[in-house]
Structure 1
Amino acid sequence: MGGGLSGLTAGIHLIERGFEVEIFEKSSVCGGKLSSFKERHLGCDISLEHGFHVWWGQYYNFIDMMKRLNIKRHLKEIHSIEIKVKGCANETIGFSPKVYPFFLLFPLLFSRNISFREIMKSGTIGLLILGYDKKRYDKWFDKISFNDLMKEYDTPENIQKVFFEPFLQAGFFAEPHEISAASFLELFHFYLSGNIRDFKCYHIGGNPQEKVIEPTVKYFLDRGGRVNFNSEIENLIIDNYKVKGIQQKSNDIHVYRDGEVIHILQTAPLERSIFKRSMPVQEIPEDNYIKVELPQNQTIFIGFFNGEIIALSGECTHAGCLLNWDYKEGRFICPCHGGQFSRDGYPLKGPPLIALSRFKIGENVKEPSYEHAVSQQVVHSADYFIIATDIPGVQGIANNIMMSVDEWQKDEFHKILNLKTSSCIVLRIWFNKSLEPDRLPVGFTSGFKFIIVYFILSQLNDDVKECSRKTDTQCIEFIIIKTPDMINLSDAKLLELVTPEIVEIFPEIKDTPMIDFSIMRHDNYTFFNKGAVNLRPHVQSSIFINLFYSGDWVYLDAPVFFMEKAVMTAKIAVNHILLKEGIAPNPIYLPNVRGILS
């Protein structure tokens, strides 16, 4: 379940060992957060991501898979990144070879913002980092925040701002007081103190869909794998300690007209009920839509156009986000990823590629019964099941399972339902102005309220680079923490809010008019908040012997993060299945599990 990086990894490793594998992906393309799409800016067709991705040298399993698929050649090294601390001079972190563990002192000793006295005072936190032990540190430090840890170990403020917080915020898309101290120590060990030999940074030119995802999908399909798009799984079929099958979400909304009344029916087999809403035809606006909210987080739009009643699904066909109708613009807009649809439901702007579902409005239709709804359910059987969705995806399944399992089986799913996601906004701006020639293409920030990372796409994304050359422009991508005061902000207000920080980071563009922009909003990133370690399930379900979890939200005994964790958990799930079938497992590559002083 899930056709992102983790689901595809599990698929190709299973199919190589002789299994029949079927992937169910709720959107119209594979890739998850690695998927990309086309947008038109300044007369150029540009491939853009959900947010620019960088690969790290410590992604041993991911890079090994890229080698096997002959796509590692796309990796291009980033030699240095910029650290921008509010009110301080810029710092630079290079990725040239360093001597372990003394490399930790180099950026401190040569810092333009940190004194020698502050370096000496940070010795206790340094010893803690070098003594990393995941099992103990998860137990000791997960219930306190990063800020609590810094206070407890009397860490100088400049050390926090210059050395820790830029990496912390860039990795977790959250503010320091929210992040688990255990997750911070794990992050720092994985990327810096524990695996310095491979402390390298790469990018692939800005189109992972074409360079990573499509070759992976092709490899999977060429070996007999099957992918079902627009196929969301809503429940598991349980038999004692085993999963017998998965239940696919079906079209459970019906619209029909009875004289001068429109009826909207939604069947809910899991709740054993049918929801009904009725409205007079005269309440439906002309040349406009009315939004109808339904249970199970679903909406439809009903409008009167050219004498015809039109009913459209309110779910974006890209990732299922609920759409907004913009009457002035005459289009539907996705608040998550910026996709747009015409008045008739056809895609106008990526990432969505498929039109909105249109409901046929019947007349004198017999209302469906609960028994009819059950008979329409689509169930798929298999021997083994891997949930490789994001957190909202697995929580949707967990919420439905809670209605059908015994009390003693609920604990695992109750914990999953308590996992949280972090939110961010991706803002891309085109300026008709050259940047300073010594600006590095990647920057991490600290001390700013909104901006945590920036990428100069004119140096990193092949399509943007070519467009910038033709139009004499520069494009910068900013990753912004989504704070409570940003909820329901229009694009114009959001730009107004963050512009002062943009100018502080790039003073050379002050008073330069913006000539184009795009905004995407994401709410499905894994949140590494304090107290979350004990909520995360292990790869093997503790309840069902043939159910497994994979993704960066799953617990691992090894200190691993993000894309590498998505790949590694998938490989571990596959190995569990191989061992159950008496087949030799695949090799898994581990980072250094402990610190040098552990």
Structure 2
Amino acid sequence: MASILALLCVVEAFPKPPRTIPPVNPDDPQRLPPGVTRNVLIVGGGLAGLSAALELAEKGYNVTIHESESYVGGRAHSVKFEALGQIWQVEHGFHAWFHNYHNFQDIRKRLDIDKYFVPWEAVDYIFKDYKPESIASKGPYPLNLLGIIFDSPNLVLTDALKAVLALPDLVEFDYNKVYQKYDNMTLDEWASLRRIPKDFFDIIIAPAASVTLNDKATISAAEMLMMMQLYFLSDSKADYRETATQNYLTALFNPWINKLQSFGVEIKLNSSVTAFVMDEESAAFTGITNDTTPGRYYDYVVMATDLPAIKNILTNTAEMYQNKPSLSGRVEKILQKITNLNVAPPYKVMRVWFDMQLEDSRAKTILETPNFVPINLVAQYHKLEKQYIEWANKTGGSVMEFHLYTWAHGDVPDANVWGIISPAVKQIYPEIFDRNFTILAYHVNTYQNFPSFEMGSASFRPNCTFAMQCGIPNAVFAGDWLHTSYPSALMERAVSTGREAANEILLKDRVKQVPLVVTSSYGPGIL
């Protein structure tokens, strides 16, 4: 063992540090010049829209956000729920905030909210066919990877090394080449092609696919290889993550809203956008059909909704201008591309208040359960967030959240969800049934708006400026379903594309862009 470690330490193989994409116009002024007014419409109040709004508002733009829901935050939102004699804040679902979320970390610092985030050092898994795993990356590359393998109760070092040596697509990762080679292949097909040992695939690779909300059987191999680079290989701290100590309204969105409103940003909730108004001469989007404000005109539009919403808005826009082909044709050109993109299967998140707590000292605060369908993850909120911790300390109860991705049981009433998942819960936590825990309250979120990253979809994924390329000169996209020129995913992709969208607007007005810090597009090298 010592000789193997020593050999690997001297081989030239190092993760590449994150890189900064600097402004292309570094000599331009930091803000709009005095007396110059620019109005920006942002459709969608999720992370992407809020990110774009922050960058533009700080630069002196007049920003209006239209959000169809009664809250901001998108798939990280927090809403009120009344139960057990008090008002609770319930999120869309548990999220981890990763080391490589560079642009989100920048926003956190600007909002002064780092105090609400604490480390989550190890990822805990249970399997049906393997012993439980607790995976944490410690030390410099490649010792961090070897440490994971050496500490595993399931993996044999020699087999794991063979697996790593068989993974040039990871160790010699090249962002663009990976998509060219493997987007038309599923993760399972790639593993078969590379002859990945089953235990290594089941324990190290497959669990990552199970928490993407996508169907593991159809997810693109290229997308998963990119996520392995982003969340595991790009840095010895790549799998370092944090959790919030308060609900997201307190920890993130109230500070964000307050900051935006200090710049005069107008946030319109419960305001669904149905179609864009277009200027006949320039083909620019100048407003929305359901805005009753007299004389409202926008210089720029940021389309920051989820995929189903933007498809609907653009379809309505094309139909509204069907008698003016010069306008509708430009919108239809966008639709021809994004129509090929789908959403992931439906998913549910169930939060349950119990009258007791688990006594099993092995019960982890956050537990990934890739083999226990329909449960993919369990989070014990009475160990995570202040409101739930205080309630549990006072009552002796517990609050557990069950993530139910790729939901295959149809549109069932919320009251029936526990009955469907309880056999899997019993396998994971038999104590809940042996001690006859009583359910005091429950809350269920049900959605089908997460982007699908199925094989073959990458070529249809537009970038931030695609609307401009289609002849709409003042419109940009932002969102986690877009393509970026660097590794990104989930919440960081939303935040980063929001910043990209703002930068395109800034460039048009000759205002200095905001730098982006992004994960390297290249792997660490051969072990």
> What is the DSSP-based 3-state SS (H/G/I as helix, E as strand, rest coil) of the residue aligned with 2:444?
strand
Deviation of residue 452 (structure 1)? 0.9
Decide whether aligned partners of structure 1 residues 89 and 397 sit closer, same or farther in structure 2, where only a CA change above 3 A counts: same
What is the one-letter code of the residue matched to 2:298? A
Cα distance in 2 for residues equivalent to 1:525 and 1:575: 25
> What is the DSSP-based 3-state SS (H/G/I as helix, E as strand, rest coil) of the residue aligned with 2:200?
helix
Cα distance in 2 for residues equivalent to 1:591 and 1:493: 43
- Structure 1 match to 2:413: 490
Decide whether aligned partners of structure 1 residues 233 and 40 sit closer, same or farther in structure 2, where only a CA change above 3 A counts: closer
Is structure 2 residue 176 aligned with structure 1 residue 135? Answer: yes
- Structure 1 match to 2:19: none
* Counterpart pick for 2:385 among 447, 457, 461: 461
Deviation of residue 401 (structure 1)? 3.0
Alignment of 1:332-351 (within 5 A): none
> What is the DSSP-based 3-state SS (H/G/I as helix, E as strand, rest coil) of the residue aligned with 1:85?
coil
Cα distance in 1 for residues equivalent to 2:388 and 2:256: 24
Cα distance in 1 for residues equivalent to 2:104 and 2:461: 22
> What is the DSSP-based 3-state SS (H/G/I as helix, E as strand, rest coil) of the residue aligned with 1:122?
helix
Is structure 2 residue 42 aligned with structure 1 residue 16? Answer: no
What is the one-letter code of the residue matched to 1:178? T
Higher share in strand: 1
* Counterpart pick for 2:371 among 443, 447, 451: 447
Cα distance in 1 for residues equivalent to 2:328 and 2:255: 43
* Counterpart pick for 2:188 among 130, 138, 147: 147
Alignment of 1:260-409 (within 5 A): 380-403=296-319, 404=321, 405-407=327-329
Decide whether aligned partners of structure 1 residues 12 and 120 sit closer, same or farther in structure 2, where only a CA change above 3 A counts: closer
Cα distance in 2 for residues equivalent to 1:518 and 1:389: 25
What is the one-letter code of the residue matched to 2:317? I
Cα distance in 1 for residues equivalent to 2:234 and 2:281: 43
* Counterpart pick for 1:504 among 427, 430, 433: 427
For structure 1, the 5+ residue unaligned runs are 251-375
> What is the DSSP-based 3-state SS (H/G/I as helix, E as strand, rest coil) of the residue aligned with 2:399?
strand
> What is the DSSP-based 3-state SS (H/G/I as helix, E as strand, rest coil) of the residue aligned with 1:15?
helix
Is structure 2 residue 131 aligned with structure 1 residue 209? Answer: no
Cα distance in 2 for residues equivalent to 1:526 and 1:445: 22
Decide whether aligned partners of structure 1 residues 545 and 477 sit closer, same or farther in structure 2, where only a CA change above 3 A counts: same
> What is the DSSP-based 3-state SS (H/G/I as helix, E as strand, rest coil) of the residue aligned with 1:21?
strand
What is the one-letter code of the residue matched to 1:501? A
What is the one-letter code of the residue matched to 1:521? T
Cα distance in 1 for residues equivalent to 2:82 and 2:299: 45
* Counterpart pick for 1:60 among 87, 102, 107: 102
Deviation of residue 440 (structure 1)? 2.1
Give yes or no for contact 2:347–2:447 (8 Å, CA) kept in 1: yes
Cα distance in 2 for residues equivalent to 1:175 and 1:460: 28
TM (norm. structure 1) is 0.75
Cα distance in 2 for residues equivalent to 1:557 and 1:150: 25
Give yes or no for contact 2:275–2:316 (8 Å, CA) kept in 1: yes
Deviation of residue 400 (structure 1)? 1.6
Cα distance in 2 for residues equivalent to 1:492 and 1:380: 45
- Structure 2 match to 1:177: 217
* Counterpart pick for 1:478 among 388, 393, 402: 402
Decide whether aligned partners of structure 1 residues 553 and 241 sit closer, same or farther in structure 2, where only a CA change above 3 A counts: farther
- Using CA pairs below 8 Å that are at least 6 residues apart, which structure has the higher relative contact order? 2
Deviation of residue 56 (structure 1)? 0.9
Give yes or no for contact 1:142–1:533 (8 Å, CA) kept in 2: yes
Deviation of residue 571 (structure 1)? 0.9
What is the one-letter code of the residue matched to 1:189? Q
C-alpha RMSD of the superposition: 2.1
* Counterpart pick for 2:88 among 35, 46, 68: 46
What is the one-letter code of the residue matched to 2:350? L
Cα distance in 2 for residues equivalent to 1:227 and 1:434: 41
Note the alpha carbon deviations across 1:518-555, whole angstroms, 9 max, x for none.
22211111221111211211101221221100011111
Give yes or no for contact 2:354–2:439 (8 Å, CA) kept in 1: yes
Is structure 2 residue 263 aligned with structure 1 residue 223? Answer: yes
Decide whether aligned partners of structure 1 residues 494 and 228 sit closer, same or farther in structure 2, where only a CA change above 3 A counts: closer
Give yes or no for contact 2:285–2:475 (8 Å, CA) kept in 1: no
Is structure 2 residue 486 aligned with structure 1 residue 558? Answer: yes
- Structure 2 match to 1:81: 123
Alignment of 1:104-123 (within 5 A): 104-123=145-164
- Structure 2 match to 1:585: 513
Is structure 2 residue 489 aligned with structure 1 residue 538? Answer: no
* Counterpart pick for 1:196 among 236, 261, 266: 236
- Structure 2 match to 1:31: 73
- Structure 1 match to 2:28: none
Radius of gyration: which is bigger? 1
Cα distance in 1 for residues equivalent to 2:370 and 2:71: 35
Deviation of residue 128 (structure 1)? 1.7
Give yes or no for contact 2:354–2:438 (8 Å, CA) kept in 1: yes
Deviation of residue 188 (structure 1)? 0.6
Give yes or no for contact 1:34–1:50 (8 Å, CA) kept in 2: yes
What is the one-letter code of the residue matched to 1:474? S
Note the alpha carbon deviations across 1:271-309, whole angstroms, 9 max, x for none.
xxxxxxxxxxxxxxxxxxxxxxxxxxxxxxxxxxxxxxx
Cα distance in 2 for residues equivalent to 1:383 and 1:48: 37
> What is the DSSP-based 3-state SS (H/G/I as helix, E as strand, rest coil) of the residue aligned with 1:455?
strand
Cα distance in 1 for residues equivalent to 2:388 and 2:143: 39
- Structure 1 match to 2:49: 7
Cα distance in 1 for residues equivalent to 2:399 and 2:166: 39
Cα distance in 2 for residues equivalent to 1:382 and 1:483: 40
- Structure 2 match to 1:92: 134
Cα distance in 1 for residues equivalent to 2:263 and 2:393: 41
What is the one-letter code of the residue matched to 2:156? S
Decide whether aligned partners of structure 1 residues 139 and 487 sit closer, same or farther in structure 2, where only a CA change above 3 A counts: same
Note the alpha carbon deviations across 1:99-121, whole angstroms, 9 max, x for none.
11332232223211223453244
- Structure 2 match to 1:160: 201
* Counterpart pick for 2:347 among 420, 424, 429: 424
* Counterpart pick for 1:576 among 504, 509, 513: 504
What is the one-letter code of the residue matched to 1:191? Y
> What is the DSSP-based 3-state SS (H/G/I as helix, E as strand, rest coil) of the residue aligned with 1:39?
strand
Give yes or no for contact 2:348–2:407 (8 Å, CA) kept in 1: no
Cα distance in 2 for residues equivalent to 1:65 and 1:45: 28
Higher share in helix: 2
Decide whether aligned partners of structure 1 residues 216 and 165 sit closer, same or farther in structure 2, where only a CA change above 3 A counts: same
- Percent identity of equivalent pairs: 25
- Structure 1 match to 2:226: 186
Say which is worse superposed, 11-20 or 98-107, in terms of deviation.
98-107
> What is the DSSP-based 3-state SS (H/G/I as helix, E as strand, rest coil) of the residue aligned with 2:482?
coil
